[in-house]
Amino acid sequence: MDSKYFDRVHVWGAIWNYAALVIMFVMPMGISIAFDAWPSVGVIGKVLLTLIPLYWVTAIIEVVTYVPMLGAGGTYLSFVTGNISNLKLPCGLNAMENAKVRANTEEGEVITTIAIAVSSLTTTIIIAVGVLAFAPILPKITAEGSVFKAAFNNVLPALFGALGAGYFVKHWRLAFAPVTVGVLVLIFAPTTGVGILMFVTIVASLVGAAIIHRDLLPKKSQKSPAPQTGDDAAQEQEAGDE
């Protein structure tokens, strides 16, 4: 792919990411200025000491794991619009699978960028319509006594279950290692963060794929006949003539 494309993607991606970062800080600062209510330095420091070790590690892990799968354009779009693990990443992977292209290719770069862009626009429109349409009744159906409360508590598991079921059925040998490792991690460390859990399961996927590939290599070498040389072909031809 032309290097000019990646240069423009990196420039505009950096601009929009910094702009999003500024907007995130402008809102709380604007509220503090408007109401003259500023948090104390001690409270901020105490909160940061708790959150920074968790979110900095998660942020580094997300960059390392997401970028190879989403490509440059898809990564910038995802980090600006958010909802990566539960929306943007599944959309990008599903689009590449349907288009029969692989990540880290020119085709994969284009497909993931288009898929995530369309997903962002669609999500924004659906959320806007949903907020306007369900604002009057949403507090009632999400209340503690509502019969729909249990359904709203299981939206993310239902989403990931529906998206993952197809992959598990098609590639059950590859799915065995990450699913097993993920379950074991949650059993012994149920408070593990999503970013760390994703990194661990991805490493388990790579290890499992390497083991499966190593086991399949001898079978493939046995099935595929050795290439014939010119002398071997001539000898077979003479034997056939006799």
CB-CB contact of 118 with 74 (8 Å): no
Q: Is the pTM of this model over 0.85?
A: no
Q: pLDDT tens-digit profile of 61-111?
A: 778 888 888 888 888 988 888 888 778 888 888 889 888 888 878 888 889
Determine, yes or no, domain membership for 215. Answer: yes
The answer to whether residue 158 sits within a structural domain is no
The contacts of residue 28 (CB under 8 Å, 6+ apart) are none
Average pLDDT, the chain: 80
Distance CA 208, CA 166 (A): 19
Expressed as residue numbers, the domain containing 201 is 171-221
Cα 151 to Cα 85, 127, 134, 157, 165, distances in angstroms: 20, 18, 16, 10, 19
Residue 202, domain member (yes or no): yes
Residue 233 within a domain: no
How many domains in the chain? 1
Q: Is residue 107 part of a domain?
A: no
The tens digit of pLDDT for each residue in 151-181 reads: 877 777 777 777 778 778 878 888 888 889 9
Q: What is the pLDDT of residues 204-231, one digit of tens each?
A: 888 888 888 877 666 655 555 555 554 5
Residue 125 domain-assigned (yes or no): no
For position 63, what pLDDT does the model report?
A: 82
| Within-domain flag for 187 | yes
Is position 191 within any domain?
yes
48's enclosing H/E stretch is: helix 41-81
